[in-house]
Chains A and B, each alone.
Chain A
Amino acid sequence: MSAMNENIPWELLVRYAEGECDAQETAALSRRIEAEPTVAAALAEVLLQAVLVRDDAQAHPEQPAVAENKPRWRTTVVLGTMAAGVALLLSLIWLLQNGGERDILTVTQVDGSVRWAGAGGEVRDTLATGSTLPGGSLETVSDDATLVVAFADGTSLTLLGRTVATISDEGQKTVHLRSGSVSADVRPQHPQRPLLTHTPTALLEVLGTRFEVDSDEANTRLAVNEGRVRLTRLMDGRSAEVPAQHEAVASLSGAEMPVMRRREPEVLWRSDFSTGPNGTQGRWLPAGGEKAPRIAAEPVFVPKSSRGPVTIHRVGLTLPWQDRANIQVRPDSRVRLRGHATTSATLEVMLACMKTTGGYAGNWFQQRGISAGEWQMELPVSAFRHWHAQAKNAPQEPLELRQMAIYTIGTDAGLEVESVEVLGAK
């Protein structure tokens, strides 16, 4: 008898195998399977075929479409063949020797000082592109640090600037973002197992989308580029769906948590340090004497840089915290800076940029000398260089300015920054 002629509810079985049946449908299917052995056998068939299709795909990959970098332990476990059996045995021995920890992340890009710490206390300060990692704490420890990691399903996370996040995947991807900025490109997740991002103030539930999240101890800012993310404020459980091209801030202030459309990109922008240190790193100084409100540089040790371990004195700005700024820098834009110094020094300026469509674009650098006293400079974006100030590549397309760092290297020049402006073409 033909399989299709046995009154087998194939579609229902396929939907059950996907987890798409609700409780009522599942109960009805249970009764039917209990009463009809042919339906039980058909579900057994669907499930077995699913496993064999997966095995076939692992044994004969056509192209690395979504899962480009499978963790070693998973890719070795294929198929009831002798070769796979040997590989599996080796893998199991490896797992036993390593306390059962398995790699869940592949490093796809790394720049600057980064660090990984595992659950067993292991710490790695050197992460190479292509290396794999078990779950653990990831840290980007300098302004110019960037770390991009990918899960086996292609979901990628970009840690920017000074960020600390603990990442795990025990059947459900989870990110604990202690502080800093993460940009995420999340592949579709199982509806019952969304990617969870915990911050000190909020919980984000993500089924598949692109978003950026910035967090400190008191605030979480979520900006969604594609798809939709559920944001829940921990303080009072208030939650909101944040759709594409919108943003919301969950803070401890108890203020409303409106979901706002992202501001249109601005090509002209000026900082405002008058109301406090919003989104800045350094020491905020109020207006006094003839001086305007300003940010004074503070020392930061950078253990790994192109110059080796250095101490920099830096002022930082995380732009979205400055009145939700959405700043677009173009190849013909200019950056104007004004401030004070107590001694002459070489100033380096770093722009950390995202693509306008979401996702990390890169860091751009430029150096200028400053004299003691008041200083002002205008830096053409076309003179910024990718990765380090001596590189060749300048920005070729409009980019979203996410973070900025202004610093002296080695020298404490008493640096203070009074204003930052982004200007259009001359």
Chain B
Amino acid sequence: MTEELLVKTLLDARPRLIAGTLAVLRDVHQAEDVFQEVMIKALRMRESFSDEAGLLAWARVSMRNLGIDHIRRVGRLDMILSEMALDAVAQSWEENEAASAKLGALRDCIAAMPQESRRLLRLRYDEGRSGRDLAALLRRSEDAVYKALSRLHAALRKCAEERLAQMKEAQA
């Protein structure tokens, strides 16, 4: 596989690969680090990949294993989902035929969010602040913070679904 194709394949799948590792690590920054590590490994092993599907399957397994290794070193394995549950989560990405369209729709929805909502999500996922930390920062209860985050996730999903439906209608 050429270097260009390898990089393009992994970059296209990057959000899903990182999200899959996030299911284990629960830390976006660390999941990004794992993606980096796997990307470097993949470049070194470039000759051994014959097609994109094989590369992605290898990357998924490698990233999950690296995540589990990390948890084994610093955390507790019983605090992460079972293998079967992790597979089920990964499966839901694989089954989504319009994956790239959905990514685009989600990105548009995030960009269109009210500033305060986007700020809350950024504090949580970009700055890595915990619910407890956010509660202190925003002078709200932890429950209120988790409720607000939950509503935002559900709203983003709804927004993306509506955008996709509109796109389909427009195409039809």
Chain A window 1-37, contacts with chain B (Cβ cutoff 8 Å), 1 for yes, 0 for no: 0111000101101111111111100110111011001
Chain B window 36-72, contacts with chain A (Cβ cutoff 8 Å), 1 for yes, 0 for no: 1001100110000000000000000000000000100
B141 at interface, CB cutoff 8 A: no
- Complex Cα–Cα for A57 and B118 (A): 9
Contacts of A23 in B (CB 8 A): 76, 78-79
Q: A19-B79, A51-B19 given as contacts; is B158 within 8 A of A88 (CB)?
A: no
**Given A17-B22, A22-B79, A190-B128: 15 more A-B contacts, CB < 8 Å:** A10-B150, A20-B130, A37-B92, A47-B19, A47-B22, A49-B156, A50-B22, A51-B22, A52-B106, A53-B121, A56-B111, A62-B119, A67-B127, A80-B12, A188-B129
- Closest 10 A/B residue pairs (Cβ): A10-B150, A57-B126, A19-B26, A47-B19, A40-B88, A33-B85, A30-B82, A41-B92, A23-B78, A30-B85
Let me know if A44 and B89 touch, CB within 8 A. yes
Let me know if B122 and A19 touch, CB within 8 A. no
Let me know if B93 and A77 touch, CB within 8 A. no
Let me know if A14 and B146 touch, CB within 8 A. yes
B172 at interface, CB cutoff 8 A: no
- Complex Cα–Cα for A13 and B35 (A): 23
> Interface of A with B (CB < 8 Å)?
2-4, 8, 10-11, 13-23, 26-27, 29-31, 33-34, 37, 40-58, 60, 62, 65-67, 73-74, 77, 80, 84-85, 88-89, 92, 95-96, 100, 102, 152-153, 171-172, 188, 190-193, 208
Chain A-chain B contacts (Cβ-Cβ < 8 Å), number: 205
Main SS at interface, chain B: helix
Residue among B44, B90, B110 with max Cβ neighbours from chain A (10 Å): B110
- Complex Cα–Cα for A88 and B154 (A): 31
Contacts of B23 in A (CB 8 A): 43, 47
Tell me the smallest distance from the CB of B113 to a CB of chain A, in Å.
9
Contacts of B79 in A (CB 8 A): 19, 21-23, 26
Contacts of B1 in A (CB 8 A): none
Let me know if A57 and B122 touch, CB within 8 A. yes
Contacts of B85 in A (CB 8 A): 29-31, 33-34, 40
B140 at interface, CB cutoff 8 A: no
Chain B window 80-103, contacts with chain A (Cβ cutoff 8 Å), 1 for yes, 0 for no: 111011001111110000000001
Contacts of B28 in A (CB 8 A): 50-51, 54
Contacts of B81 in A (CB 8 A): 16, 26, 29-30, 33
Contacts of B80 in A (CB 8 A): 26
Let me know if A95 and B130 touch, CB within 8 A. no
Let me know if A40 and B157 touch, CB within 8 A. no
Contacts of A74 in B (CB 8 A): 29, 32
Of A14, A26, A44, which is within 8 A of B150 by CB? A14
Chain B window 104-138, contacts with chain A (Cβ cutoff 8 Å), 1 for yes, 0 for no: 00110011000000110110111111110100000
- Complex Cα–Cα for A44 and B22 (A): 10
> Interface of B with A (CB < 8 Å)?
7-8, 11-12, 14-16, 18-20, 22-23, 26-33, 35-36, 39-40, 43-44, 70, 74-76, 78-82, 84-85, 88-93, 103, 106-107, 110-111, 118-119, 121-122, 124-131, 133, 146-147, 149-151, 153-158, 161
- Complex Cα–Cα for A73 and B29 (A): 12
Contacts of B111 in A (CB 8 A): 56, 60
Tell me the smallest distance from the CB of A132 to a CB of chain B, in Å.
16
Q: A47-B89, A51-B22, A100-B40 given as contacts; is B146 within 8 A of A11 (CB)?
A: yes
Q: A88-B7, A89-B7, A192-B75 given as contacts; is B15 within 8 A of A48 (CB)?
A: yes
Contacts of A3 in B (CB 8 A): 154-155, 157-158, 161
13 sampled A-B residue pairs with Cβ under 8 A: A10-B151, A29-B85, A33-B88, A44-B90, A46-B153, A47-B23, A49-B156, A50-B28, A50-B125, A73-B36, A96-B44, A171-B30, A171-B33
Contacts of B127 in A (CB 8 A): 65-67, 153
Contacts of A55 in B (CB 8 A): 15, 107
Which residue of chain B has its CB nearest to the CB of A45? B157
Let me know if B153 and A80 touch, CB within 8 A. no
Tell me the smallest distance from the CB of B40 to a CB of chain A, in Å.
6
Let me know if A44 and B19 touch, CB within 8 A. yes
Tell me the smallest distance from the CB of B137 to a CB of chain A, in Å.
10
- Complex Cα–Cα for A29 and B107 (A): 28
Which residue of chain B has its CB nearest to the CB of A65? B127
Let me know if B40 and A14 touch, CB within 8 A. no
Let me know if A18 and B130 touch, CB within 8 A. yes
Which residue of chain A has its CB nearest to the CB of B4? A89
Q: A3-B158, A30-B84, A89-B7 given as contacts; is B103 within 8 A of A52 (CB)?
A: yes
Residue among A15, A43, A89, A152 with max Cβ neighbours from chain B (10 Å): A43
- Complex Cα–Cα for A33 and B80 (A): 12
Tell me the smallest distance from the CB of A88 to a CB of chain B, in Å.
7
- Complex Cα–Cα for A16 and B23 (A): 8
Which residue of chain A has its CB nearest to the CB of B133? A188
- Complex Cα–Cα for A34 and B92 (A): 12
Let me know if B156 and A4 touch, CB within 8 A. no
- Complex Cα–Cα for A48 and B18 (A): 8
